[in-house]
Structure 1
Amino acid sequence: MSSDYYEVLEINRNVTDADIKKAYRRLALKFHPSRNREPGSDEKFIQLGEAYDVLSDPRKKATYDKFGEEGLKGGIPPEFGRDGAWSSKYVYHGNPDKTFREFFGGDNPFADFYTNNAPLQLSGLEAGLVKKTQDLPIERDLHLSLDDLFHGCTKKIKISRRVMNDNGFTSSIKDKILSIDVKPGWKEGTRIIFSKEGDQGPNSIPADIVFIVRQKVHPQFVRQQNDLIYKAKISLEMALTGFSVDVQTLDGRLLSIPVNDIVHPAYKKVLSGEGMPLTQNPSQRGNLIITFDIQFPEQLCAERKHLIRQALTFKE
């Protein structure tokens, strides 16, 4: 771009930083491609982006003021940069939309302005009726262990979001810690909503941030709603003659459960009140359901087959 940056922004060289921002805001809104389709407006929008990118940066501005565009883009000797001036060769990234988004904190500030269903004029930004719309929710998975969901816990999550600066025109990225109190018994898919904690913009309502519970795989239990499923491996002998199975519960107890029935492949042992807490009433719990994986012998000799046949031959 060969034109004067100050002329592009229609300002003089003695302006303040606030004046530069005000000028860019006014002209960028006027010549934005979504609002202005007159010949030359696209080129003007590009020029505005480059001019603001230079003049809003103290080091680039210092170099431009002292050495002009040639010194800014051609580079200056290091000894001239000791006063804080830009000493590298400046190249504009060529994306005025990026400059526009970074300035306004959003893609399109026009989307949220309505003036009696009439085309929006520039003055409407100052005096027209303004109606803001909220950005779509931002959804993130919250991965929790079965132990977290059994006992309940508190999770601290750091987010980075864009917030408006005090001048109301520019924005910056700041971190914030969100605290989630996980309740005992929460299920997969539970949604935790933080209202209006998304990126801020001058012309929109920040989005809600929504965390969705995702349960991690547990090495011992499978969860079905409020019930816990435990699979025990047993031999064929145990299935036919009886045994006891030990289960370590999520709250640290060791249950020794006798099984005196003949265990067939569809057999289940149900222990009431040993499952997951109910969210509405954590003092109540679902069931612990024990299923069985019966291990059959891979082979039997003739003598063992004969003995088993005898043992399983029922005489009246």
Structure 2
Amino acid sequence: MGVDYYNVLEVGRSASDEEIKKSYRKLAIRWHPDKNPNEKAAAEAKFKEIAEAYDVISDPKKRTIYDQYGEKGLNASCDSQNGPSYGSSGSSTFCFNPRDAEDIFSDFFGSNPFGFENLNRSKSTSFQTDVAEHEILTIEVTPGWRKGTKVTFPEKGNEELNQIPADLVFIIDEKPHEVYKREGNDLVVHQKISLVDALAGTTINLVTLDGRNLVIDMTDVIKPNYEFVIENEGMPIAREPGKKGKLIIKFDVKFPSRLTPEQRAGIRSIFG
């Protein structure tokens, strides 16, 4: 089978997509050449091997082929696995998964500044056409980037004889967060509270995207659709370093489905 990609990524053959991605990120950061200046050549080789393994194991089609036929099967099926073409006229397609550079909100918040992609491109020469070149490209995620941001690597696309190589463009996407929703530079979180808390006050505890515990004492009466705004706790603003948007807490007051006669009487006595 040749190189054991599962062993390279330090995962089992039954590893889930999340386990594979988590291990890949850990290893890619550990072996990034910039983080190993005293062993740069060895780090570059290891980094390349990790990226190759992830490119295969993270792609369901390639992973199935690899599990059944090994590296030879991947090489034989490369033409059928090509993604869309990029760049100038005459460029042939890249033989790799043309994945978007996807990161969750926390990456755009600044806690995980690196994204990694690997690339096989075609280069035509006067002696032989379609010579494959492999290169590791590093994308440094800037805090505050938005969905649709383009990262361009000039002349890193396919190259035809006597032509300038095409550019390679990655389009950044965002994965939804389970707690926060992004609206421009602001972060929105929905908070459910009971009617008692809405009337008598309560404390809201939130974990920020950079891991801080945010404690908010609510003393105002909270009405349905009430919003509480905290300045400078939103997303970093990419073009204004050091500044952030707002954190907007939207409340959903849960009313009781029924009240006893005693409860009704008590409420009437309190509110007159």
TM range (shorter): 0.5 to 0.7
How far residue 186 of structure 1 moved from its aligned partner, in angstroms, is 0.7
2: CA distance between counterparts of 1:137 and 1:268? 50
The unaligned stretches of length 5 or more in structure 1 are: 1-97, 99-131
Q: Residue 275 in 1 paired to residue 237 in 2?
A: no
Q: Is the 8 A contact 2:228 2:250 kept in 1?
A: yes
How far residue 279 of structure 1 moved from its aligned partner, in angstroms, is 0.6
Q: Is the 8 A contact 1:236 1:294 kept in 2?
A: yes
Match of 1:158?
118
How far residue 140 of structure 1 moved from its aligned partner, in angstroms, is 5.1
Q: Is the 8 A contact 2:93 2:158 kept in 1?
A: no
SS of match in other structure, 1:261: coil
Q: For residue 144 of structure 2, what is the amino acid of its counterpart?
A: G
How far residue 248 of structure 1 moved from its aligned partner, in angstroms, is 0.9
> Higher relative contact order by CA 8 Å / sep ≥ 6: 1 or 2?
2
Q: Is the 8 A contact 2:157 2:165 kept in 1?
A: yes
Deviations 1:251-274 (A, max 9, x none): 221111111111112211111111
Change (3 A) 1:134 1:191: farther
The unaligned stretches of length 5 or more in structure 2 are: 1-78, 80-87
Change (3 A) 1:312 1:304: same
Question: What does 1:132-171 correspond to in 2, within 5 Å?
Answer: 141-151=100-110, 153-165=113-125, 167-171=126-130
Match of 1:87?
none
In structure 1, which of residues 175, 192, 196 is the aligned counterpart of residue 155 of structure 2?
196
2: CA distance between counterparts of 1:221 and 1:248? 10
Deviations 1:26-81 (A, max 9, x none): xxxxxxxxxxxxxxxxxxxxxxxxxxxxxxxxxxxxxxxxxxxxxxxxxxxxxxxx
How far residue 294 of structure 1 moved from its aligned partner, in angstroms, is 1.1
2: CA distance between counterparts of 1:225 and 1:213? 15
1: CA distance between counterparts of 2:195 and 2:176? 29
**Alignment: residue pair count:** 182
Match of 2:216?
257
Match of 1:219?
178
1: CA distance between counterparts of 2:236 and 2:219? 29
Change (3 A) 1:268 1:136: farther
Change (3 A) 1:268 1:153: same
Q: For residue 163 of structure 1, what is the amino acid of its counterpart?
A: K
Q: For residue 258 of structure 1, what is the amino acid of its counterpart?
A: D
Q: Is the 8 A contact 2:144 2:236 kept in 1?
A: yes
Match of 1:287?
246
User: Percent same amino acid at aligned positions?
Assistant: 36
2: CA distance between counterparts of 1:234 and 1:149? 29
Q: Kindly report structure 1 stretches of 4+ aligned residues shifted beyond 6 Å.
A: 136-139
